[in-house]
Structure 1
Amino acid sequence: MRKLAAFLCAALVLSGCGDPSADGAGQTQEQRVKTGVVTPVTAPTIRLTGVIRARYETPQAFQVGGQIATRKVDSGQRVVKGDVLFTLDPSDLRQSLSASKAELASAQASAAVARADLERDRKLFKRDYLSRQAFDRAQLSAEQADTQEDAARARMEQAQNALEYATLRAESDGLLIEVSGEPGQVVQTGHPVARLAKAGPREVEVAFPSDVRPPASGELLLNEARIALERREVSGSVDAASRTWQARYRLADGSPAEELPDGIGLGLGLGEVVQTRFETTPAGAAMAHNAPSLYRVPVAAVDERGDGPRLWHIVDGKARAFAVTVAKIERDRALVSGSELSDGMRVIALGTHLLAPAMPVRALDAPRDDEE
């Protein structure tokens, strides 16, 4: 038995001392890896309804308060500069003008008396029949009377202006998009009674969802026409009620509707509901001007063992890593950017934590040399 045991041990030792190339292939054998395709992130397109607005929409209001006597216009009516829109009851304004005229007449009479007294006192003063103090008092009284006359004249002019302000006129050519004042209504100074859309350029007002920042440009879809839009302004915050961004877009220079203030033949009348199209920034990946392009890769392809995130690809049958910047992690994809990324590029998609530089690897879908 002892001889048999010794023989078996010797056999086992000799079997372990065979050709190392038979088992050493584990150190040099190509590793089969799964790869994934790099795809560029394209901006999603969103279609929204918009409303045609005038570039300038001005509230029309009286410069004086009073009761509306007449209404000369209706909503949707076209007006030219100077057309009468409303009038106020002028009774109180006329009385104010009459009172200011009477006040002016009284001030003029007082000033005439003061000037006459001053001229008489000047002659007496030259003959030493009047003291210096009395002459100075007469001089000051004349100046005071002149000042009171000037003030009364200014008040009369204000009363005249107020009577003219009782007639509200259109401040420019345009279209009345809203008329709210009614005869008998008492209005305060500055209270809007109409809204005038001035003749001139038209814009498109669009409400964007709160998670979509209004882009800088877009398109107005009008039948078969495509009119370029350029953002002019956007609200400073999301509307609390509608949870939307309000943005205004002007028609781009040279567009076919730019010089048609009423959109005749193009369906661009004020208040018209139109269709718009925009390319929006991908949610969660804000891309500023001149920002690097984003690419979508399998999330498991991102290797973060080193100083920063990196991807691996196969170069001449060996694994090679290159640095990337991660913009966003999705459920099964990652948005990354990097100088070596390109559309259609294949990267190692699984097991990147087991890779080492220059490790021999072969994609699972690539044939082996002995299979070719």
Structure 2
Amino acid sequence: MSRLVTPLLLSILLLVGCQQGEPEPSASQPRWVKTTALAADTAPTLSLTGVLRARYETPQAFQVSGQIATRHVDAGQVVRQGEVLFTLDPSDLEEALAAARAELDAAEASVAVAEADLARDRQLLEKDYLSRQAFERAELGVREATTRRDAARARVAQARNALAYATLRAEADGVLIEVSGEPGQVIGVGQAVARLAQEGPREVEVNFPARLRPPETGELLLDERRIALTRREVAGAADPASRTWRARYRLDAPLEARRLGDIVEARFPLGDSEAAGHFRVPVAALDERGESAQLWQIVDGQAQPLAVSVERITREHAWVSGEALEVGQVVISLGTHLLTPGMAVRPLDEKGAP
């Protein structure tokens, strides 16, 4: 029995040692990857989403400071010109008006006294009982009192206007797209408490990639309708956060059954210079794990990253640009989120691929 057991144990030990010495297949063999060739962007148009805006969107603010007493409107409410939106507590303004009126009464009394003194001095001057210098001083007194009365009248008018400003009214017909003021809130002069989108022309606001200059014309896509767009303005600088250019386009036809803030689709023509240097790849080929987007290429059997700039993305494709990109260049199109620099890879279209 011992003669049979000993050779059997030796065979088992040799077999285990051979298995431990063999390397893992995944560590020694390259990973098979799917590849695709870069295609030049020959599309003559660019499709972007935009936001429907009013031509005039004006902040509504009080011309005097104070505490909000009442609020009469809510966001989304349609208002007419002159309709009351907010009111302030008028206590201080009423007191200011009363003080201005009291100053005016005192100034008018001073004018009456000065004019009476001037009339008496004129009679004395005619009888040579008063010097010419004293009479001229009386004339100047009347002029000074009159000036003070005029100033008091102006202060009364200002106080009356300030009291009227305690009621904020809509400056035009439209819809309130934002209302932020609340009763009890203390606001300053010019602090917006609502934003009014006035009735009238409508526009489309579109954000373009930083590398593209917003074109002069375009078209709005609404189901079966196509409405021509004409560029009205472009922001003076690109947005520092999104690196996009904000542009506003006028609609050349009236737009009905659409609300402000609706997301709409617009299409714009691209010139040859704008389309040059852009390449289309499957969206799965785009790797955004790092600080910037990148593609992966195969260099000497190893995966290496390739930095790119993303121009636009759809559900199936991405349009990218980069100095090292060229038409027909082969990049990895699937599984890029699993790659690391220097990883051994082999394309699936290579001979002998599984």
Q: TM-score, normalised by structure 2?
A: 0.65
Could you say which residue in structure 1 is the equivalent of 2:200? 200
- C-alpha displacement at 1:329, in angstroms? 11
Deviations along 1:314-334, whole A, 9 cap, x unmatched?
A: xxxxxxxxxxxxxx998369x
Could you say which residue in structure 2 is the equivalent of 1:102? 102
Q: Does 1:225 align with 2:215?
A: no
Q: Does 1:234 align with 2:234?
A: yes
Deviations along 1:65-90, whole A, 9 cap, x unmatched?
A: 00111111011111111000000000
Q: Does 1:55 align with 2:31?
A: no
- C-alpha displacement at 1:57, in angstroms? 0.6
For structure 2, the residue ranges without an aligned partner over 5 or more in a row are 1-40, 277-322, 329-354
Alpha-carbon distance in structure 2 between the residues aligned to 1:285 and 1:160: 62
State whether residues 43 and 281 of structure 1, in contact with CA within 8 Å, keep that contact through their aligned partners in structure 2. no
- C-alpha displacement at 1:44, in angstroms? 3.1
Letter in 2 for 1:199: E
Could you say which residue in structure 2 is the equivalent of 1:179? 179
Change (3 A) 1:203 1:74: same
- C-alpha displacement at 1:49, in angstroms? 0.9
Could you say which residue in structure 2 is the equivalent of 1:280? 270
- Write out aligned runs for 1:35-74 (5 A): 44-74=44-74
Could you say which residue in structure 2 is the equivalent of 1:77? 77
- Write out aligned runs for 1:308-327 (5 A): none
Residue 75 of structure 1 aligns to a residue whose secondary structure is: coil
Could you say which residue in structure 1 is the equivalent of 2:137? 137
Could you say which residue in structure 1 is the equivalent of 2:190? 190
Alpha-carbon distance in structure 2 between the residues aligned to 1:285 and 1:174: 41
Residue 247 of structure 2 aligns to a residue whose secondary structure is: strand
- C-alpha displacement at 1:282, in angstroms? 4.0
Alpha-carbon distance in structure 1 between the residues aligned to 2:57 and 2:249: 15
Change (3 A) 1:284 1:215: closer
Alpha-carbon distance in structure 2 between the residues aligned to 1:113 and 1:143: 12
Alpha-carbon distance in structure 1 between the residues aligned to 2:227 and 2:270: 18
State whether residues 70 and 88 of structure 2, in contact with CA within 8 Å, keep that contact through their aligned partners in structure 1. yes
Letter in 1 for 2:107: A
Change (3 A) 1:190 1:204: same
Q: Does 1:269 align with 2:259?
A: yes
Alpha-carbon distance in structure 2 between the residues aligned to 1:109 and 1:188: 36
State whether residues 43 and 275 of structure 2, in contact with CA within 8 Å, keep that contact through their aligned partners in structure 1. no
Could you say which residue in structure 2 is the equivalent of 1:163? 163
Deviations along 1:15-66, whole A, 9 cap, x unmatched?
A: xxxxxxxxxxxxxxxxxxxxxxxxxx96632211111000011111101000
Letter in 1 for 2:233: E
Letter in 1 for 2:326: R
Deviations along 1:260-293, whole A, 9 cap, x unmatched?
A: 5xx23xxx2111111111122345679xxxxxxx
Deviations along 1:281-314, whole A, 9 cap, x unmatched?
A: 345679xxxxxxxxxxxxxxxxxxxxxxxxxxxx
Alpha-carbon distance in structure 2 between the residues aligned to 1:278 and 1:284: 12
- C-alpha displacement at 1:223, in angstroms? 1.1
- Write out aligned runs for 1:300-311 (5 A): none
Residue 183 of structure 1 aligns to a residue whose secondary structure is: coil
Alpha-carbon distance in structure 2 between the residues aligned to 1:284 and 1:178: 38
Alpha-carbon distance in structure 2 between the residues aligned to 1:172 and 1:129: 67
Alpha-carbon distance in structure 1 between the residues aligned to 2:218 and 2:226: 10
- C-alpha displacement at 1:207, in angstroms? 0.7
Residue 157 of structure 2 aligns to a residue whose secondary structure is: helix
Could you say which residue in structure 1 is the equivalent of 2:126? 126
State whether residues 42 and 275 of structure 2, in contact with CA within 8 Å, keep that contact through their aligned partners in structure 1. no
Structure of greater Rg: 1
Q: TM-score, normalised by structure 1?
A: 0.62
Letter in 2 for 1:185: Q
Alpha-carbon distance in structure 2 between the residues aligned to 1:207 and 1:200: 23
Alpha-carbon distance in structure 2 between the residues aligned to 1:199 and 1:282: 39
Identity %: 64
Aligned residue-pair number: 243
State whether residues 85 and 170 of structure 1, in contact with CA within 8 Å, keep that contact through their aligned partners in structure 2. yes
Residue 237 of structure 2 aligns to a residue whose secondary structure is: coil
Alpha-carbon distance in structure 1 between the residues aligned to 2:125 and 2:87: 58
Could you say which residue in structure 2 is the equivalent of 1:360? none
State whether residues 43 and 282 of structure 1, in contact with CA within 8 Å, keep that contact through their aligned partners in structure 2. no
Alpha-carbon distance in structure 2 between the residues aligned to 1:250 and 1:191: 29
Alpha-carbon distance in structure 2 between the residues aligned to 1:93 and 1:277: 54
Could you say which residue in structure 2 is the equivalent of 1:113? 113
Alpha-carbon distance in structure 2 between the residues aligned to 1:233 and 1:329: 34
